[in-house]
Amino acid sequence: MNFNKLKKRAFLALISFAVLFLLYFLVYIFSPANKVDALVTIEIQKGIGFRQVNSILAEAGLVRHPFLFHLLALGNRATGRIKAGEYELSRTLSPWEILRKLVRGEVRAFMITVLEDSTVRDVLERLVSYRLVDPGEFMRLAYDQEFLRLLGIEGSSVEGYLFPDTYKLDRTMGSERIIRSMVGEFWKSITPEMRSQLPRLGFSFTEIVILASMIGKETGYAMEKPYVSAVFHNRLKKGMKLQSDPTAVYNLENFSGKIRRRHLKSETPHNTYRINALPPTPIGNPGVDSIKAAIYPAQVNYLYFVSKNDGSHNFSETFQDHRQSIIKYQVNKGKY
């Protein structure tokens, strides 16, 4: 056999091998590592190289033949474009789908609900339970005056401005982005027309948020909120103490349960049984119904209200009527 024939056969063998390899590679990149569906959580830390990423995927059973996966990434110029974060990936994903998710940064997301009238500490506790924020960093930012000014907040903390809603969050965001997102939703809920009412009311916007936080803590019934607001507005006009029970326990750590008489006597800066004014800051994060109620109180002369033990309240104009309501709804029920 002459040299030219040997060269031709070698060339054909090489072409055949290349075609077979290409076919195998195409099958590989679109075939899952496992046909049994199972979710696997992995974490890609910032600054690690693609070889480490490849090892993590292989050890998690998400990728077979790491060498081929590396070739796939090289061919797509993706080795330097993998986004850090926590990923929840199925073993039925193909290498192509996995690479695309890593490049796009489709990290694991958590749907977190900020409950209406929850406090900053309530929100922090929920975020920490999902390992979404560092508690120290979150609380530092919550009281950082420069950061608050950038967010348009004139108060001393972010309390009152973490808008109650459901948020899609992930562990790459960090405290600053999460706070910005929640405060951003708050400002979206405030219309120019609402702001235009402030001169008529004689309130600053910060005072409206404080009042709204009290209204939200007093009642969960949207229909009652303008009446609770009217009581507070009327009392402020008359120079009366607001005597709002939730303000008495706002500064108490780990408070849960029923508000007692001893709480109403507590020497705390927010206790409106002791101070003759609005509290210095909001006592929770109000929803839009409470904010609207603070701006648009009902046109009534009520000065008092008492719980009817079913979540609703009875309203009165005079102290005598209020006393009768207390006897009816509280004393006779053993509440006092």
DSSP letter for each residue of 7-70 = HHHHHHHHHHHHHHHHHHHHHHHTS-S-SS--EEEEEE-TT--HHHHHHHHHHTTS-S-HHHHH
H or E element, residue 155: none
Residue-level pLDDT, tens digit, the chain, 336 residues: 566 666 667 667 677 777 787 887 788 889 888 888 889 999 999 889 999 999 999 999 999 999 999 999 998 999 999 999 999 999 999 999 999 999 999 999 999 999 999 999 999 999 999 999 999 999 999 999 999 999 999 989 999 999 999 999 999 899 999 999 999 999 999 999 999 999 999 999 999 999 999 999 999 999 999 999 999 999 999 999 999 999 999 987 766 677 777 878 888 899 999 999 999 999 999 999 999 999 999 999 999 999 988 889 999 999 999 999 888 887 655 544
What local confidence, expressed as pLDDT, does residue 33 receive? 83
pLDDT of residue 336: 44
Q: Is the pTM value of this prediction over 0.85?
A: no
- pLDDT for residue 246: 93
The C-alpha angle 240, 270, 329, rounded to 5 degrees, equals 60
